[in-house]
Amino acid sequence: MSILALQSDLLSGVQHGFMARPGGHSRGLYEGLNCGVGSHDDPAAVAQNRALVAAHFGVPPEALMSLHQVHSTTVVRVARPGWDGPRPRADALVTAHPGIAICALAADCAPLLFADRRAGVVGAAHAGWRGALDGVALATIAAMEDLGARRGDIAVAIGPTISQRAYEVGPDYMDNFLADDPAHARFFAQGQGDRLMFDLPGFLLAQLRTAGVQAAWTGHCTHSDEARFYSYRRATQRGEPDYGRQIAVIRL
């Protein structure tokens, strides 16, 4: 079965991919390559989808490692395939061990893939607005440095995420960002009435570049491209009970 892995030139030379929706075994509401074990999809279909992704990256299914994501800044170091017990409640993974495919799941939130080719260290993170503001991307960089990466050698690709034109929020939302730094106002555009439009990928790009790493967004909007991406916000707007999740993967 054919599946689609979108890539970033910034991570050339490192095996990675932002997996799109086409392909896979899920049906109905989850049609496509739903890899979210936290969804209400048929668990057998999700397992088959994840096995397809693992095979694409040349690892066994247990080496395709993802988390119970909770919008935190917690980073987990991975040294061998498989978890001892339930998936950790965290939002980023780092490893310096070949043969382990670390993952981030998202459906409007931003999946980030990190690599320091020279040091042989990679990372993956999930960033919604809360994780982005709290610094999950910066925590991932710090964890990579603990494994021997050098900040100036780290490249970060932001995968398909909701774009500013689709991310409508209220004034209280912007207040969280202004309380952190009034300059964050530049990531909000005026919408209808008191609504504002938030630029999640733009915020992350600025944060990463200020931190001294190379960063780029693939430019794909999950909300506007139903054929290729799941979207939490699109599902919510339609009153649908659930939604699928994209998986972003990187390995040494």
For residue 232, the domain's CATH number is 3.60.140.10
Claim to verify: residue 38 and residue 69 sit in the same structural domain: yes
Average pLDDT, stretch 136-156? 98
Q: How confident is the model at residue 48 (pLDDT cuts 50, 70, 90)?
A: very high
The answer to whether residues 184 and 242 belong to one domain is no
**Averaged pLDDT for residues 32-49:** 97
139 and 59, same structural domain?
A: yes
Task: Tell whether 213 and 104 lie within a shared domain.
Answer: yes
Question: Quick check: 100 pLDDT over 80?
Answer: yes
pLDDT (average), residues 86-109: 97
Residue 68 and residue 192 in one domain: no
Residues 176 and 69 in one domain: no
Q: Check residue 65 and give its pLDDT.
A: 97
Give tens-digit pLDDT for 176-200: 999 999 999 999 999 999 999 999 9
% pLDDT > 90, the chain? 99
Identify whether residues 183 and 242 lie together within a single domain: no
| Residues 87 and 53 occupy one common structural domain | yes
80 shares its domain with 127: yes
pLDDT band at 92 (very low <50, low <70, confident <90, very high): very high
Residue 2 has pLDDT above 90, yes or no: no
pLDDT of residue 217: 98
If you write DSSP's letter for every residue of the chain in order, what string do you get? ----EE--GGGTTSEEEEE-SSSSSB-GGG-B----TTSSS-HHHHHHHHHHHHHHTTS-GGGEE--B--S---EEEE-SSS-SSSPPB-SEEEE--TT-EEEEEESSSEEEEEEETTTTEEEEEEE-HHHHHHTHHHHHHHHHHHTT--GGG-EEEE-SB--GGG-EE-HHHHHHHHHH-GGGGGGEEE-STT-EEE-HHHHHHHHHHHTT-EEEE---BTTT-TTT---HHHHHHTT-S----EEEEEE-
The predicted model gives 37-62 an average pLDDT of 97
Q: What is the pLDDT of residue 121?
A: 98
Same domain, 119 and 240: yes
- Structure confidence at residue 204 (pLDDT): 98
Q: What is the mean pLDDT of the chain?
A: 97
Per the structure, how many domains does the chain have? 2
Does 218 share its domain with 111?
Answer: yes
Determine the structural domain holding residue 178 and report its residue range: 164-198
For residues 233 and 186, membership in a common domain is answered with: no
